[in-house]
Amino acid sequence: MIRAILALIFFATQAHSETIVLGLSQDSVSITATFDGSDILIFGAVSRTAPEPLDKGKLGVIIAVSGPDQTVSVFRKQRRMGIWVNTDEVIVDRAPSFYAVATSGPIEDVLSDTEDLRNRVTIPRAIRSVGATVDDSDTFSQALIRIRAKDALFQMNAGAVDLEQDTLFRTSFSLPANLIEGDYLARIFLTRGGKVIDTHSTVIPVQKVGLERWLYNLAHVQPFFYGLLSLVIAIAAGWAASAGAAALKR
């Protein structure tokens, strides 16, 4: 009995002999009136309580950053009587507004399909579409991935994680200017032979500040005054343009 307990303790210790220690270059991202994107550096180290288990496969690091989830309607366009119209529709129940993945090697080498299915790491796994009524619903998800990848909202960067001596790792993500506000989740996966052996996650708040925050609050909290302000600005701009044109004619 005692031997069995000691064996369980030993294997439990071995299973967690490699863990993640994480650091960020910035704890939050501020969206200002002149915000044109940002880079965030994610770095860390592998802490070990036992010698590196080289017999269990190659070490891998995967880092995924995801924005707030959205429900998205994806339409198929078809040409009808010379006009492009929306026909079939698939509702994607959950799609991150931003999703970027960086790995220390080819994704098929550092993560098995089973672990990908369990942890929803790759971009197709991060998207959930259930209850679709069309036969080729996967093509709608692929279309969404293609569109958002074109806008740099979906990023797959294989080999972008710099892993030094199987201990120190780092990578950077480029956040585009069209980010939405909310909490962004950074997940780090430590793998060995394609199997996840440790995970770590942290939240990166993305918030509007300054004039952007003031206008956002005014529009949502006091929409009447926001509309009135917009009307005043439009009238003032029109008057200024008219006065400028009259001055040029003189």
pLDDT digits (tens, 9 = 90+) for 133-186: 667 778 888 989 999 999 999 999 999 999 999 999 999 999 888 888 889 999
Tokens matching residue 14: 């071995």
Measured in residues, the chain has a length of 250
Within this chain, do residues 214 and 197 fall inside the same structural domain, yes or no?
no
- Which 8-state DSSP code applies to residue 178? T
Residue 3: inside a domain: no
What is the domain-level CATH number for residue 162? 2.60.40.3880
Tokens matching residue 207: 């918030």
Per-residue model confidence as pLDDT tens digits over 63-107 = 999 999 998 888 887 777 778 777 778 888 889 999 999 999 999
Write down the residue that tokens 């996966």 correspond to: 189
Residue 155: inside a domain: yes
Within this chain, do residues 133 and 198 fall inside the same structural domain, yes or no?
yes
Structural domain range at position 215: 210-243
Helix (H) or strand (E) holding 228: helix 223-249
User: For the chain, what percent of residues have pLDDT higher than 70?
Assistant: 78
Within this chain, do residues 128 and 201 fall inside the same structural domain, yes or no?
yes
Answer whether residue 250 shows pLDDT above 80: no
Residue 1: inside a domain: no
Q: How far is CA 157 from CA 24, 63, 171, 187, in A?
A: 18, 10, 10, 15
Within this chain, do residues 159 and 139 fall inside the same structural domain, yes or no?
yes
Within this chain, do residues 162 and 94 fall inside the same structural domain, yes or no?
yes
Residue 55: inside a domain: yes
Q: How many domains does the chain have?
A: 2
Per-residue model confidence as pLDDT tens digits over 202-214 = 999 887 655 555 5
Within this chain, do residues 65 and 134 fall inside the same structural domain, yes or no?
yes
Residue 98: inside a domain: yes
Within this chain, do residues 223 and 149 fall inside the same structural domain, yes or no?
no
Start-to-end C-alpha separation, the chain: 103
Rounded to whole angstroms, the Cα distance separating 198 from 12 reads 13
Find, among 204, 196, 239, 229, the residue nearest to 65 by Cα.
204
Q: How far is CA 134 from CA 75, 116, 119, 175, 221, in A?
A: 11, 25, 27, 34, 40
Write down the residue that tokens 């994607």 correspond to: 92
The residues, any chain, with a CB within 8 Å of residue 119's CB and separated by 6 or more, are 125, 189, 196, 199
HSE value, Cβ hemisphere, 13 Å, CA-based, for 31: 19
Within this chain, do residues 222 and 138 fall inside the same structural domain, yes or no?
no
Within this chain, do residues 64 and 167 fall inside the same structural domain, yes or no?
yes
Residue 72: inside a domain: yes
Longest dimension (CA), the chain: 103
Residue 4: inside a domain: no
Q: How far is CA 79 from CA 73, 75, 134, 144, in A?
A: 19, 13, 18, 20
Residue 250: inside a domain: no
Within this chain, do residues 202 and 219 fall inside the same structural domain, yes or no?
no
Per-residue model confidence as pLDDT tens digits over 21-51 = 988 887 777 766 666 788 889 999 999 888 8
- What pLDDT does 10 receive? 43
Within this chain, do residues 170 and 231 fall inside the same structural domain, yes or no?
no
Within this chain, do residues 236 and 171 fall inside the same structural domain, yes or no?
no
